[in-house]
Amino acid sequence: MLKTKRIFLIILSIVLISCSSVNQNTTMPDFEIKTLTNKTITNKDLTNKIVIINFWATSCTTCIAEMPKLAEIYEKYHSKGLELIAVAMPYDAPMYVKNFAQTRKLPFDVALDLDGKITKSFGDITLTPTTFVFAKNKRIQKVIGEPNWVEFEEMIKKSLNL
């Protein structure tokens, strides 16, 4: 029963996210976050870059499954102006997040949102995965759950003028 309920919630979240209209005038909220490597990132550091912010959890099988593809896209386009920050949910155990990032050798910044300020500033995120893609002007391009990877990469290439 629990597995069926979880599957239903995942499907519902994907449908709700994909059906929601994204307001192209919504800009990246102000934020400051520390990464696992103790680097501080603010929204001001991300000016003139295409930015992916991925909210995820170590308990989310879809999140875990999409990490290798996110890493591949990051490695492919980072030198061309793409930034990616994976923000672990506030309920995620820091040791699980650190272990996951280290053992998978994630090439992008991974951050903990221990106090929930980041998830709240992005609209009180509760469903994972939730991924925001911001244009160079910091306006939302797209909000997605689990992406269609071909379309996702095409959007990134187009955003980077490639």
Residue 6 pLDDT greater than 80, yes or no = no
Q: Is the pLDDT of residue 14 over 60?
A: no
Phi, psi of 150 (to 5 degrees): -65, -50
Predicted pLDDT at 39:
94
* pTM attached to this predicted model: 0.83
pLDDT for 27 beyond 90: no
Whether pLDDT at 12 is above 60: no
| Three-class HEC string of 43-66 | HHHHCCCEEEEEEECCCCHHHHHH
The CATH superfamily label for domain 2-159 reads Glutaredoxin (3.40.30.10)
pLDDT the model gives residue 56: 96
CA angle at 106 for the pair 72 and 7, rounded to the nearest 5°: 80
Q: Taking residues 89-106, report their average pLDDT.
A: 96
How far, CA to CA in Å, does 68 sit from each of 31, 55, 63, 100, 153? 26, 15, 10, 12, 14
Q: What is the pLDDT of residue 22?
A: 41
131 beta partners: 54, 144
Domain boundaries, the chain: 2-159
For the stretch 99-149, pLDDT in tens is: 999 999 999 999 999 999 999 999 899 999 999 999 888 888 878 788 899
Separation CA 20–CA 144 (nearest Å):
9
What's the confidence (pLDDT) of residue 25?
A: 52
Average of per-residue pLDDT across 51-62: 95
pLDDT above 70 as % of the chain:
85
Residue 86 has what pLDDT? 98
Only one residue has tokens 């029963």, namely: 1
The amino acid at residue 32 is E
